[in-house]
Amino acid sequence: MSNAQHSTFSNVSILHHPLFPINYEVLIKVLRITNSILTISVIMAKLLVLSLSLCFLLFGSCFAFRDQQPQQNECQFERLNALEPDNRVESEGGLIETWNPTNRQFRCAGFALSRATLQRNSLRRPFYSNAPQEIFIQQGNGYFGMVFPGCPETFEEPRESEQGEGRRFRDSHQKVNRFREGDIIAVPTGVAFWMYNDQETPVIAISLTDMSSHQNQLDQMPRRFYLAGNHEQEFLLYQKQQVRGKEEQESEGSNIFSGFKRDFLEDALNVNRHIVDRLQGRNEDEEKGAIVKVKGGLSIISPPERQPRHQSRSRQDEERWQPRPHKSRREEEDDEKHSRHHDQGGSRWKQDNGLEETVCSAKYRENIGSSSSPDIYNPQAGRIKTVTSLDLPILRWIKLSAEHGSLHKNAIFVPHYNLNANSAIYALRGRAWLQVVNCNGNTVFDGELEAGRVLIVPQNFAVAAKALSDKFQYVSFKTNDRAAIARLAGSSSTLNGMPLDVLAATFNLERNDARQLKNNNPFKFLVPPRESERRAVA
Amino acid sequence: MSNAQHSTFSNVSILHHPLFPINYEVLIKVLRITNSILTISVIMAKLLVLSLSLCFLLFGSCFAFRDQQPQQNECQFERLNALEPDNRVESEGGLIETWNPTNRQFRCAGFALSRATLQRNSLRRPFYSNAPQEIFIQQGNGYFGMVFPGCPETFEEPRESEQGEGRRFRDSHQKVNRFREGDIIAVPTGVAFWMYNDQETPVIAISLTDMSSHQNQLDQMPRRFYLAGNHEQEFLLYQKQQVRGKEEQESEGSNIFSGFKRDFLEDALNVNRHIVDRLQGRNEDEEKGAIVKVKGGLSIISPPERQPRHQSRSRQDEERWQPRPHKSRREEEDDEKHSRHHDQGGSRWKQDNGLEETVCSAKYRENIGSSSSPDIYNPQAGRIKTVTSLDLPILRWIKLSAEHGSLHKNAIFVPHYNLNANSAIYALRGRAWLQVVNCNGNTVFDGELEAGRVLIVPQNFAVAAKALSDKFQYVSFKTNDRAAIARLAGSSSTLNGMPLDVLAATFNLERNDARQLKNNNPFKFLVPPRESERRAVA
Amino acid sequence: MSNAQHSTFSNVSILHHPLFPINYEVLIKVLRITNSILTISVIMAKLLVLSLSLCFLLFGSCFAFRDQQPQQNECQFERLNALEPDNRVESEGGLIETWNPTNRQFRCAGFALSRATLQRNSLRRPFYSNAPQEIFIQQGNGYFGMVFPGCPETFEEPRESEQGEGRRFRDSHQKVNRFREGDIIAVPTGVAFWMYNDQETPVIAISLTDMSSHQNQLDQMPRRFYLAGNHEQEFLLYQKQQVRGKEEQESEGSNIFSGFKRDFLEDALNVNRHIVDRLQGRNEDEEKGAIVKVKGGLSIISPPERQPRHQSRSRQDEERWQPRPHKSRREEEDDEKHSRHHDQGGSRWKQDNGLEETVCSAKYRENIGSSSSPDIYNPQAGRIKTVTSLDLPILRWIKLSAEHGSLHKNAIFVPHYNLNANSAIYALRGRAWLQVVNCNGNTVFDGELEAGRVLIVPQNFAVAAKALSDKFQYVSFKTNDRAAIARLAGSSSTLNGMPLDVLAATFNLERNDARQLKNNNPFKFLVPPRESERRAVA
């Protein structure tokens, strides 16, 4: 097969790419010929601003639609529950727990939830889903990779010399990313995803799969398409329950290769039967499961550790890949800022080599954990950090966002509601007292949310929280990439937006009382505990 | 019919076109002549045009999607009915009437309808909805406000001096708007909205809530979340009917504050128990309801009346706020034009003070009533005025538009269909004979529509009207921000778009007859009554 | 609380704001400083590029949403079937065959399929649908027209002189287009469409109607609204089956004019009763149907054949309209390239006469047949050609795309899955062996697909094909205007995107075997038959 032919093929792949990017390159090139250099660079910067603004506007929450609405009455709750996972599937290298997606609260919210735990040196085998995922790393560090069709294999491993016949082969693959505690990872629909824990601490990852996304063209049941193994996908159980009335299905639980004829795969892949058998998961123990132990660990996927440190320090790409364990969190934070700047100013807008790299090198993760710089902060009350499509542009695509919060004991998150999103509040640490109110003014939740449980708060339902333990931490997944909340108390709240007289007439209050309502609470999101409570804590 | 009139008509058609395109040509041409700095300012203007065009294109009807489609068969009507409201809830200061949203016609169309009447000095208490609303003011004048989370309080009241302790306090709040008869008001999802009647004439407001909007992430039941009061939200009734089989719900009907614990609210708001009780609507009579009387009326919300008139007339902002009762309609019209220009040229694109103001000061209302300048006009037949996202950009966001029409007795609105929208025709005055035809060629409606009733016309169903009373007026809500119609008779109709021979073959006509079909009716939208009928009227 | 803290809070609020606006101000300011004229024109051109790119990005598959998802469980297939049409309606000039849209496979995929056959000199009468259509011309040549409301009648026929009273009349109508074998035609929702066969060979057209499109605001039943005739619309049958329980409907099957009162139409159209009767299809035989014979054929609709050939050759518009039968395919190909260039460079972006023409003259067809230039090509294996919204921008609007493939005997289309679309594979010629695998690893299809049958492959299901006959040809309709596939075998496949060690650990393989998996198959999409098989064929 000729070279020309090859390149035709890869061009085609690019054209088919789901995220065909903007060709800023052409723009930049032409502009370089222009003679007023100074002016131009200013213009450039502003053009980017324009594009980005336009982008933001267009991709903003006005477009943060979701495809599927719940059935009639599905969201008429008189009672919500804080839910634990109700099923667990053990694997060789960890376990996957799931919440029942056919539970009415999940059906109303339109998403599914699962939690994976990876032991040291364990690999979550590659799979893809028929809906976008948002993954939060509750604990641990490791590597993850996603395979985008049409993207080039940009990571080139050094030549192997240890093996004789390996000399001719130099492995290359798509980008491998490092994740750490507090990261949000965005996984688009249909894109194969794997992750690996190379550290001692087990990795715990909470994953929301947004079945109501417009990108899901199948029904509302979550599906995992595994590329390998001989085990049931973790949500199959619930599907079986739903169709129990029908004849027992003989789904032996296997991967997407196992359904093809053996001979056919030999031809299609041009490999021998032994390899095909492994691909199809034949003779593999079902107990091995979705997460497998890797003997001796994976070494090859951390190329930078092998690169010499004495090379030019100005090449930030390398700096990104220095061994992390030796760094303090502070340093990591800085690195991240660097690499982030690099991603946006460098890889995404200023590359020379064509169109495909821009999407292929987009950023798919963002840290919102306790070590990140908060968006909302009060040393007496706590901190909140959010990630929206303004922080992580890929979220525009999957129409999800997230919020991470940390409250001191007895601190209050003022009553508020999600303007344009459903949300799932997952408690990471400690416990809090939550109240949720529906449109009839009824309390649909009034209880504790403790670590490991999730509470689904439907759009527009009013919610408030008070931390009961020393440090209550949570992550909240939201079904809108520009999720917004409206606060019902405190400075700049909805009450403050109304004229005093309207407020007084609305609540049948004296003007003076209405004034108190507007002014008495100077805090916006988080209210610190009263003096007495604070002293009790200290 | 004059030529000028004709061209008015075809312009209108263009504006309604579903794929309003970008005219890059104009931009390029202009740019070619550029050779001086002066020209640059022209370019600037054009860049805005370009951006806006792009905006329009992107936000255009190609994106005017709605989230939820009706169930299978939901729209297979053999009979439609002109519906009156089937429930009324009296309040202290007015009443709210609702149409049953679970009626099959409403389920097919995917929206809910209600009608509020406010007596003098009455306030519709603030509430928000889980779906966008389009409100038409059938009668009356007054004020309305919306509270956008994150927007600053830009209206600063003058200092109060009458009260001793009030001296320190200067009230500020978000923008307050005036409305008048014939206005369309757009209320986004989740945004708190209130309105107030300060005039003698009762205010009558028809509100469409688009449950099928992508912004509604809950189920199809319309919900009002009241911030105050102790009454059932107006659509709760129907929800109860649907779940009647289940145990009787003890929803006492109250507001979103009433579900929170009293102590908690005291802490969260830092106010005393008395104020919290008022917030929660405790001890309040349920009969008080959603619309309350304000003793002595609200005075504080009309700041401009206190401003001196002798200040510079060039500051249009002030001119907007001159006392309106002293102006004629004509003057009001002019003011509106001014302020509109100001909104677009000024507030929205040219402000200096950051990003937030631009949306916070967007325009949320537009007049399409009889006193506005019509888009389609024939002195013998009547007038039509539409508002789409081209007129009122916020409609892009809520994906709705509207049309107001006024027909003389015996005038005909030619057979046509809505290309890309469902519609609800609400008769404001008089009565008309309407015919609606489905895809099987069956007449699904053939009867009178009289003032106060609504007829739902599903997408693509053919419809025609003939006024039976002296002045038939209607407003038509459409579920697409760029709703377009295709006419089946008259000049420039669908029939005229086909070659004569195709027309002849299609209808098995002689060429001469086909020619008549194309040419005999010179009118486009509205056909005046025949000479004989006109004389009878006169 | 400090001031700094306050401002942090309000910044956060802004970021969360749902309508984050464009900052044109900044752009304008910067541009005002510019004073190098040359620079400006370059920038202008590039802004266009920017806008277009942005367009593509925005309209890309990230927005290729579809409105309606299937019901819960609707897509849980354990068995798929290759389906033939199950109903046929004969007409005077041809026949229309339909697949049952209530079949579970079609309900999951959300579209309906039909096949029309037009004999020589036969006209498919104009109709519109409540959802967009994508039509593939399997065989034949002819004319088609669409009538866009608001578009001008741009085709002006020469004056007629044969008839005395015709002298005053000069027919004009909207654009008429020629189609040929292998064309994809895009028909937007609600737009009246007709087609005509002027050749000896019967025209066969496969039409997919995307009921799940956001443009369909009615329910999931496909509907044809005929402008003429006295026959049932082709999908009414299935609708009747669904409501069989209810009383027998007396739908006589007729067109959208037939539901209006006769007198009313006389007034509205200003024509006599005879013409109205023809319009309503009265006294017309139901057998005449949707496709009618035209005695003597339609002559008027091919204006260019009457134009002198000796005029300036530079006017490509004319060249496009030369009689095609005298040209070779090669020439046609060239013409098309010309006209296509003209469409994009000329009609769409460079016209002078206002905004409307740009959309009115947009391109609605693209050839992907065997005579077109393929996107993927291997002389030993076959060829593939796709059309997406990058090729045919109107597809952005209707959110559909298509793929045409041709495989040599024993050639393989490697295992792959549709990332973001459902697809319908319709076999045009020959037969192939197809395998489809679901998320449980079960084979849901393992059989032959022969000419005239269709196989629906849901999103993310793995599929592979092997041609069994000499030349297997298919067309695949896809429910995404930027449909993308991920390949599971061959060069640059998903397997190749993963690091060698991950691959080895995933499939429990030796590194050497994993290397084979990555490298052994050098082909990307199509794998040629083995040497032995090839020789057998030859």
C116-153 pLDDT tens trace: 999 999 999 999 999 999 999 999 999 999 999 988 88
Q: What is the pLDDT of residue B378?
A: 95
CA angle C323, C329, C335 (to 5 degrees): 60
Q: Where are the beta strands (DSSP E) in A35-181?
A: 87-91, 94-98, 112-118, 122-129, 133-139, 142-147, 155-156, 172-173, 176-179
Q: Which residue of C has its CA nearest to A236?
A: C440
Residue C174: pLDDT over 80: yes
**Mean pLDDT calculated for residue range A422-426:** 98
The interface residues of chain B toward chain C in range 504-523, judged by CB-CB distance below 8 A, are 505-509, 511-513, 515-521
The conformation of residue C58, written as its DSSP 8-state character, comes to H
Phi then psi for B271, rounded to 5 degrees?
-130, 170
Do the Cβ atoms of A487 and A493 come closer than 8 Å? Answer: yes
Q: What percent of chain B has pLDDT over 90?
A: 61
Q: What is the pLDDT of residue A74?
A: 85
Spatial distance between the Cα atoms of C420 and C483, rounded to a whole number of angstroms: 6
Q: Is A312 left (phi over 0), alpha (psi -120 to 50) or beta?
A: beta
Q: Is C490 left (phi over 0), alpha (psi -120 to 50) or beta?
A: left
Residue B171: name the closest of C10, A496, C7, C6 by CA: A496
Which of B213, B506, B518 to probe by mutation at the C interface, max C CB count within 10 Å? Answer: B506
Q: Which residues contact B538 (CB under 8 A, 6 or more apart)?
A: none
Q: Which residue of C has its CA nearest to B446?
A: C260
Nearest Cα of chain A lies from the Cα of B238 at a distance, in angstroms, of: 11
Token pair recorded at residue B16: 């309604």
User: Shortest CB distance from C355 goes to which of B14, B63, B464?
Assistant: B14
Residues from chain B contacting residue A415 (CB–CB below 8 Å): 256-257, 260, 265, 268
Q: What is the pLDDT of residue B427?
A: 98
Q: What is the ipTM of this complex?
A: 0.79
Residue A13: name the closest of C473, C521, C411, C493 by CA: C493
Question: Which helix (H) or strand (E) covers residue B24, if one does?
Answer: helix B24-33
C464 contacts A268? CB cut-off 8 A: yes
C420 contacts A259? CB cut-off 8 A: no
Which chains contact C through at least 3 pairs of Cβ atoms less than 8 Å apart? A, B
Residue A384: pLDDT over 80: yes
CA distances from A427 to A381, A455, A475, B328, C454 (A): 17, 9, 7, 61, 49
Do the Cβ atoms of A412 and A465 come closer than 8 Å? Answer: yes
Phi then psi for C366, rounded to 5 degrees?
-155, 140
Residue C503: pLDDT over 60: yes
C110 contacts A377? CB cut-off 8 A: no
Do the Cβ atoms of B47 and C27 come closer than 8 Å? Answer: yes
Q: Where are the beta strands (DSSP E) in B54-93?
A: 87-91
Question: Which helix (H) or strand (E) covers residue C437, if one does?
Answer: strand C431-437
User: Shortest CB distance from A439 goes to which of B102, B224, B257?
Assistant: B224
Q: What is the pLDDT of residue C68?
A: 61
**Out of A67-71, A270-274, A291-295, C305-309, which region has the weakest mean confidence (pLDDT)?**
C305-309
The interface residues of chain B toward chain C in range 175-214, judged by CB-CB distance below 8 A, are 188, 212
Do the Cβ atoms of C469 and C52 come closer than 8 Å? Answer: no
**Mean pLDDT calculated for residue range A391-404:** 94
A500 contacts B300? CB cut-off 8 A: yes
CA angle C11, C12, C13 (to 5 degrees): 90
CA angle B361, B364, B367 (to 5 degrees): 130
pLDDT in tens, B14-64: 233 333 333 334 333 333 333 332 333 333 333 333 333 332 333 233 333
A215 contacts C516? CB cut-off 8 A: no
The interface residues of chain B toward chain A in range 15-74, judged by CB-CB distance below 8 A, are 51, 54-55, 58-59, 63, 65, 67-68
User: Shortest CB distance from C23 goes to which of B355, B485, B490?
Assistant: B355
The conformation of residue C130, written as its DSSP 8-state character, comes to S
Spatial distance between the Cα atoms of A385 and A374, rounded to a whole number of angstroms: 5
Phi then psi for B275, rounded to 5 degrees?
-70, -40
Q: Which residue of A has its CA nearest to C13?
A: A484
Which of C226, C269, C285 to probe by mutation at the B interface, max B CB count within 10 Å? Answer: C269
**Out of A297-301, B134-138, B398-402, which region has the weakest mean confidence (pLDDT)?**
A297-301
Residue C376: name the closest of C533, C211, C524 by CA: C524
B349 contacts C149? CB cut-off 8 A: no
Determine whether C378 is exposed, middle or buried from the number of CB atoms within 10 Å of its CB (0-12, 13-18, 19+). Answer: buried
C20 contacts A269? CB cut-off 8 A: no
Spatial distance between the Cα atoms of B505 and B511, rounded to a whole number of angstroms: 9
Nearest Cα of chain B lies from the Cα of C362 at a distance, in angstroms, of: 10
Most confident of A328-337, B239-248, C412-421: C412-421
Nearest Cα of chain B lies from the Cα of C495 at a distance, in angstroms, of: 36
Give yes or no for C304 touching A (CB within 8 A): no
Q: What percent of chain C has pLDDT over 90?
A: 61
| SS3 sequence of B415-468 | EEEECCCCEEEEEEECEEEEEEECCCCCEEEEEEEECCCEEEECCCCEEEEEEC
Residue B168: pLDDT over 50: yes
Spatial distance between the Cα atoms of A26 and C466, rounded to a whole number of angstroms: 41
Determine whether A201 is exposed, middle or buried from the number of CB atoms within 10 Å of its CB (0-12, 13-18, 19+). Answer: middle
pLDDT in tens, A326-341: 334 443 343 333 333 3
User: Shortest CB distance from C218 goes to which of B62, B75, B499?
Assistant: B75
Nearest Cα of chain B lies from the Cα of C226 at a distance, in angstroms, of: 7
Question: Which helix (H) or strand (E) covers residue C56, if one does?
Answer: helix C37-59
Place of tokens 């040209």: C327
Residues from chain A contacting residue C74 (CB–CB below 8 Å): 219
B19 contacts C359? CB cut-off 8 A: yes
Q: What is the pLDDT of residue C195?
A: 97
Spatial distance between the Cα atoms of B205 and B114, rounded to a whole number of angstroms: 8
Give yes or no for A448 touching B (CB within 8 A): no
The one-letter amino acid at B526: L
CA angle A360, A366, A369 (to 5 degrees): 160
CA distances from A14 to A8, A345, C406, C479 (A): 10, 23, 21, 19
Q: What is the pLDDT of residue A301?
A: 55
| SS3 sequence of A354-383 | CCHHHHHCCCCEEECCCCCCCCEEECCCEE
Look at residue A336 and give its three-state secondary structure. helix
Q: Which residue of B has its CA nearest to C211?
A: B69
Give yes or no for C130 touching A (CB within 8 A): no
pLDDT in tens, B479-491: 999 999 999 999 9
User: Shortest CB distance from B501 goes to which of C10, C174, C299?
Assistant: C299
Nearest Cα of chain A lies from the Cα of C355 at a distance, in angstroms, of: 22
Nearest Cα of chain C lies from the Cα of B231 at a distance, in angstroms, of: 30
CA distances from B473 to B330, B369, B426, C178, C298 (A): 21, 10, 9, 45, 45
Spatial distance between the Cα atoms of A113 and A135, rounded to a whole number of angstroms: 10
**Mean pLDDT calculated for residue range B301-306:** 50
Do the Cβ atoms of C241 and C264 come closer than 8 Å? Answer: no
**Mean pLDDT calculated for residue range C394-405:** 95
Give yes or no for A81 touching B (CB within 8 A): no
pTM: 0.81
Q: What is the pLDDT of residue A222?
A: 95
C242 contacts B441? CB cut-off 8 A: no
Output B161-164 pairs: Cβ under 8 A, ≥24 positions apart.
Answer: B163/A511, B163/A512
C151 contacts B17? CB cut-off 8 A: yes
B34 contacts C239? CB cut-off 8 A: no
Which chains contact A through at least 3 pairs of Cβ atoms less than 8 Å apart? B, C
Do the Cβ atoms of C213 and C131 come closer than 8 Å? Answer: yes
CA distances from A456 to B53, B96, B223, C240 (A): 40, 32, 18, 42
CA distances from B2 to A14, B68, B317, B378, C273 (A): 56, 45, 39, 10, 28
**Out of A146-155, A483-492, A521-530, C528-537, which region has the weakest mean confidence (pLDDT)?**
C528-537
Query: How far does chain B reach from its first CA to its final CA, in angstroms?
Result: 20
Do the Cβ atoms of A183 and A136 come closer than 8 Å? Answer: yes
Look at residue C417 and give its three-state secondary structure. strand
**Mean pLDDT calculated for residue range A163-171:** 59
Beta partners for residue B208, in sequence order: B113, B134
Do the Cβ atoms of C408 and C382 come closer than 8 Å? Answer: yes
Q: What is the pLDDT of residue C285?
A: 85
The one-letter amino acid at C401: S
Q: What is the pLDDT of residue B193?
A: 97
Q: What is the pLDDT of residue B1?
A: 36
